[in-house]
Amino acid sequence: MPTKPLGFCSVPGCSARVSSGRCAAHQSQPREWHHLYDRRRWRRERLRFLHTHPLCETCKAEGAVVASAEVDHHVAHKGDERLFWDRGNWRALCRRHHSQKTARETWGRGADVTDTRTPANRAPVSFSHSRNPEGARHG
């Protein structure tokens, strides 16, 4: 049975080859600011924010109604606690849009969640595609 080809470690700049995720050297190496998300205060404020902002802001701008699931820091805080706790820097996003933004910021990959245009080199999305049986408009 053929095996999946190895990819690169998911840590930016690391050239180690792995089957998925991070290499052994980076497995136990959390981001310096990861502890901010482990605080009880963050969990409480995150839930409060999502309760008052129930819809994904990007989906809403596209005319779709999708529940928010993540609180995004519009400007990446990179450990700056003032920026981390600034509610003016928070926005509610669905998981898909938050993942796209994170991939773009971290690895320079992924769609621009603020750009709703279809790239010229890609066919428009078919909402009636077999992988989208509900035909829901989501992006």
- For the chain (139 residues), the mean pLDDT of every run of 10, in chain order, is 76 78 70 80 96 96 95 89 95 93 72 44 41 45
Largest CA distance in the chain: 52
Residue 118 near residue 124, CB atoms below 8 Å: yes
Q: How far apart are CA 118 and CA 139, in angstroms?
A: 10
pLDDT at 8: 81
Write down how long the chain is. Answer: 139
Sign of the alpha-carbon torsion through 123, 126, 131, 137: positive
pTM: 0.59
| Exposed e or buried b per residue across 48-58, where buried means at least 16 C-beta atoms within 10 angstroms of its C-beta | eebeebebbbb
Residue spans per domain, the chain: 30-107
